[in-house]
Amino acid sequence: MAWLRTLGRWLRRAAGTPTPIPDALWQDTLARHPFLQRLDAHERRRLQRLAAHFIARKRFTGAHGLVVTDAMAVAVAAQACLPLLHLGPPNRPEAALAWYDDFVTIVLHPDDAVAPRRVMDEAGVVHHYDEVLAGEAMQHGPVMLSWPAVQGAGMGSGTSVVIHEFVHKMDMQAGGADGAPPLPRGFMGARTAREAAAHWYRTWAPAFEQFREQVALAERFGAPAPWLDAYAASAPAEFFAVACEAHFVEPERFAREYPALAAALRELFKQNEVPLANDGDGL
């Protein structure tokens, strides 16, 4: 199976330069998602190139009769590639798509999906329930997205289900979604991977616990609710994914509310590095 996955990646890369995204379609995508308009002209061109390579490597499928249009695929690709914008080599930004190499299929649903769940409590009693999902990323498996949720990205709440699920994929590259993604060399000045991981933990663990306390106080005693979605309190992996959504969709507010987390994410996604003006990003 590992050999087949490697062969599949090689064949996709061997396909060469992908079909460019038409400028009219690209401009319409930017107009529909205002947070993408914060990018400068160079970053927009780079993102357009990344999105074209992304679409060439992935297979889009509509569930329950949904027909996936070019506009839908581009909307997903643009948001999925935003976290990768500064990660690839200057002359080959599409190399950053290796973060998403463990899967091919993206399933779009016409509405939120309902997934049956089975959990065992501490007493050994098994509980069955249905969970309503706007998106889901599976380890070494496909990404599921609700199309209405994709369309609603950035609508005043600092959210993007696409960014949420795709940073889960990045988080999973370290072995599982736990809110501690693989860190770049020299992260925050760290000399070793262990030192970098310790710095990440010291930054994120207290913030997560404080957020959980804020959510609990809001739900139980009517205290002011935190700005981030309360779902972030469910697990460190969800706190990381929700924080990433806010970081990319409403970066100014996120930096005001969570300055230490914003600094860590800027370093993780290499946003502090100035890209070269001429990196061969023509389409």
Q: What CATH code is assigned to 2-268?
A: 1.10.472.150
Residue pair 135/162 in contact (Cβ under 8 Å)? The answer is yes
| All structural domains of the chain with their residue ranges | 2-268
Q: What is the pLDDT along the chain (283 residues), one digit of tens a residue?
A: 343 344 344 444 545 689 999 999 999 999 999 999 999 999 999 999 999 999 999 999 999 999 999 999 999 999 999 999 999 887 888 899 999 999 999 999 998 665 555 655 566 665 545 455 788 999 999 999 999 999 988 776 789 999 999 999 999 998 888 999 999 889 999 999 999 999 999 999 999 999 999 999 999 999 999 999 999 999 999 999 999 999 999 999 999 999 999 999 999 999 987 554 445 444 4
Please state, in angstroms and rounded to a whole number, the distance separating the CA atoms of residues 38 and 74.
18
Please state, in angstroms and rounded to a whole number, the distance separating the CA atoms of residues 160 and 164.
6
Please state, in angstroms and rounded to a whole number, the distance separating the CA atoms of residues 233 and 64.
32
Q: How many CA atoms lie within 13 A of 129 on its CB side?
A: 8
Residue matched to tokens 């060439």: 56
Which residues, 6 or more positions from 82, have their beta carbon under 8 angstroms from its beta carbon? 36, 47, 163, 248
Ramachandran angles phi, psi of 178, nearest 5°: -135, 10
| pTM for this prediction | 0.87
Residue pair 173/99 in contact (Cβ under 8 Å)? The answer is yes
Please state, in angstroms and rounded to a whole number, the distance separating the CA atoms of residues 18 and 281.
13
Give the torsion sign (CA, 115, 4, 101, 53): negative
